[in-house]
Amino acid sequence: MLKRIFFTICSGLLLAATLVAAEAKPNIIFILADDLGYGDLSCYGQTKFATPSIDRLASEGMKFTQFYAGSTVCAPSRCSLMTGLHTGHCYIRGNKEDPAGGNFPLAANQTTVATLLKKAGYATGCFGKWGLGSQTNVGSPMNHGFDEFFGYYSQRDAHNYYPPFLHRGDEKIELDGKTYSHDLIEKESLDFIRKNKSTPFFCCMTVTIPHAAMQVPEPYVAPWRNVFPEFENVIGKYSFNTEVRNPVAAFPGMLNRLDETVAKVFALLEELNLDDNTIIMFSSDNGAHQEGGHHSDFFRSTGPLRGIKRDLYEGGIRVPTLVRWTKKIKPGSVSEHIGAFWDVLPTFAEIAGVPESEYPKQLDGLSFLPTLLGNTAAQKQHPYLYWEFYEQRGKIAARFGKWKGIRLNASSQPGGLIEVYDLENDLGEKTNIADKHPEIVAKFQEIFREAHSPSSIFTGIVP
């Protein structure tokens, strides 16, 4: 009898333990590359170099072919990512400098994805480039849901990979100017994962690779100097008087260094036995750049797409996006789901079990968790995606279905001409067919007016 009671108790405890394990909240790692083009990974068609560890995210997870950044430059794209809002609604809509120093800050009362995950019991850390404020204003990541931060507050400071200082939280960490910043950012990220192995964590790795300057330690450049010797006498110049010899060779070296980081993340998750309960999402904050001597045309960094960073053509905003979640996402799956950075907040919140009542009152994003789990029938779709950009005389763009609409000179010519492209038949946006589809032009005009909310900080765009 006692044996039967003992067996029953043990069985009950085992069942309870199993249920607890089954209900454990997954860890979330988000790796955000900086200025990585749609065609810069070998799993997206890059042929001049390989990214095997990043490609593993595709072979063991899901590759998105129609996923978009929040904007075509750093700060507004990151604001969209953090807040779940597109750039017609979000607070930061451009790379605006704060007169007190650094970048213009995210609003003090803004709910972020980190805010929600922290409330859900997650340890939260951001490592790399922030670009949404600093320790001198309300935009510090420590004011927006992150327990830890290490890296660059100012995106301008992040132009130099050998900086005189970085920040840990609100503390300024003096450096010798000879230390490669990515090495430190990588270490802090891995230390955060190791330290929080027993609790759900959100590790946001906003690395600066491959943004200019085109700097990486020589051992990563050296193998490529012989591959691209025709550029050996080219000097790439950028901020802080940086000069890089053969920046073309430096670019694959930088991607090799980033790929190495992803390999270390894999290894650590396996070492800590966290691999089966950790989601890794990888993306880029906007399209490829052409600064510091980088030759995006040579590497076909935008693949089949038109445009680069600062364009609202596809090459400026469509970004490589990979998600791996062992035993949840079908390995090697490819999704044509049309999504964007503002979808990340509701997706991660749903994964973490955050009640919708705690979501921000204003939210443009839709969770793409059904797509990740293979339940496409349950996936909600956007009526449209929308972007606005305040540099270069202003630009507006939207997409619904296969249609893409773009208005240039949106600050100087409100209500001006709208270009229309059929992305299904013209992915490279080579032929403007607005004159053949006046009804589509009218639809885009309606979307532009509906999606744009006037900003007291970023002025000039009038749909």
CATH 3.30.1120.10 residue window(s) in the chain:
385-451
Question: What pairing do the DSSP bridges indicate for beta strands 62-64 and 333-335?
Answer: parallel
Task: Calculate Rg over the CA atoms of the chain.
Answer: 22
Angle (deg, nearest 10), helices 247-271 and 218-225: 130
| pLDDT score, position 23 | 61
Amino acid at 95: N
Residue 165, SS3 per DSSP: strand
pLDDT tens digits, residue range 186-238?
999 999 999 999 999 999 999 999 999 999 999 999 999 999 999 999 999 99
Residues 6+ apart with CB under 8 A from 417: 407, 434
* Orientation of helix 52-59 relative to helix 247-271, angle to 10°: 50
CA 463 to CA 449: how far, in whole Å?
6
- Percent of the chain predicted with pLDDT > 90: 90
Residue length of the chain:
463
- Residue 19 has a pLDDT of 32
CATH class of 385-451: alpha beta
Q: 25-378, what's its fold?
A: Alkaline Phosphatase, subunit A (3.40.720)
Do the bridges between strand 385-389 and strand 395-400 make them parallel or antiparallel, or are there none, so unpaired?
Answer: antiparallel
pLDDT tens, position by position, 115-128: 999 999 999 999 99
Closest by CA to 348, choosing from 368, 364, 333, is 368
Q: How confident is the model at residue 97 (pLDDT cuts 50, 70, 90)?
A: confident
